[in-house]
Amino acid sequence: DTAVSQTPKYLVTQMGNDKSIKCEQNLGHDTMYWYKQDSKKFLKIMFSYNNKELIINETVPNRFSPKSPDKAHLNLHINSLELGDSAVYFCASRPTRTNEKLFFGSGTQLSVL
Amino acid sequence: GNSVTQMEGPVTLSEEAFLTINCTYTATGYPSLFWYVQYPGEGLQLLLKATKADDKGSNKGFEATYRKETTSFHLEKGSVQVSDSAVYFCALDNQAGTALIFGKGTTLSVSS
């Protein structure tokens, strides 16, 4: 009954490969996010979708492409992986209303070799 | 733009010590403020929040007061436990209310 679930939990791959991370929430939330956490624990917003519409697209290389097939899913596809992409990626969701808390997935540890 | 500044860690305390983690923010308007906690290998969980000036958020013995005059939201706990060891993040809603902006996180380590 996990509220926000991400797969895979660990992803080890070679430079230059293309990979995807999937995220699903069963909370009925309208808004979903991808955050990147670096080795120093700094969390940076990457993308946000509201009802399948992109509303935040921070300065992220265009090798990163989010896709939201429906409002319960937000997947992250990464092309031509680079060493600097190694990080923990967190999916999160919340109702559209502001002031509401974010519900986070447990993270995907991406290691690019 | 909106931003959050937290004290640098790590913070190392003995069990039952008093904890303060400082957080200040820069924002236009009146953002909502949050503290999140991240235990090892897990995602972030909401610890407490405050939505307007002078509000006090509290949970599990932690508390923080929204101080508009000093633009601060410091986290405090009177007596920490080993189980409180984690990374703590201060955050605010951005101006459009579309995302949370996080501070850099403060690692707390409590020893028995």
User: Which one has a higher pLDDT value, B92 or A52?
Assistant: B92
Tell me the C-alpha distance between B102 and A10, whole Å.
Answer: 24
Q: Would you call B89 an interface residue with chain A, using a CB distance cutoff of 8 Å?
A: yes
Tell me the C-alpha distance between A75 and A60, whole Å.
Answer: 15
Question: Would you state the pLDDT for residue A108?
Answer: 97
Residue B36: Cβ within 10 Å count: 25
- How much of chain A exceeds pLDDT 90, in percent? 74
Q: Is residue B8's pLDDT more than 70?
A: yes
Mutate to test the interface with B, among A4, A32, A94, A101 (most CBs of B within 10 A): A101
Mean pLDDT across A83-107: 89
Burial class (CB in 10 A: 0-12, 13-18, 19+), A67: middle
Query: A102 to each of A5, A71, B8, B22, B69, how far by Cα in Å?
Result: 14, 15, 24, 22, 27
Mean pLDDT across A79-102: 89
Q: Is residue B57's pLDDT more than 90?
A: yes
Query: How big is the A-B interface in CB pairs under 8 Å?
Result: 57
Question: Would you state the pLDDT for residue B11?
Answer: 96
A95 falls in which pLDDT band (50, 70, 90)?
confident
Residue B6: Cβ within 10 Å count: 23
A92 falls in which pLDDT band (50, 70, 90)?
very high
Q: A99–B105: do the CB atoms touch at under 8 Å? A: no
The residues, any chain, with a CB within 8 Å of residue B49's CB and separated by 6 or more, are A99, A101, B32, B33, B34, B35, B57
When computed from its CA atoms, the radius of gyration of chain B, rounded to whole angstroms, is 13
Q: Is residue A80's pLDDT more than 80?
A: yes
Q: B43–A106: do the CB atoms touch at under 8 Å? A: yes
Residue type at B2? N
Number of H helices, E strands in chain B: 0, 12
Question: Would you state the pLDDT for residue B23?
Answer: 97
- Which member of A40, A48, A92 has the closest CB to residue B98? A48
The pair phi, psi for residue B83, each rounded to 5°, is: -70, -10
Mean pLDDT across B13-37: 94
Question: Would you state the pLDDT for residue A110?
Answer: 97
B17 falls in which pLDDT band (50, 70, 90)?
very high
The residues, any chain, with a CB within 8 Å of residue B89's CB and separated by 6 or more, are A43, B6, B35, B36, B37, B38, B44, B102, B103, B105, B106
Question: Would you state the pLDDT for residue B110?
Answer: 97
Q: Is residue A99's pLDDT more than 80?
A: no
Q: Is residue B73's pLDDT more than 70?
A: yes
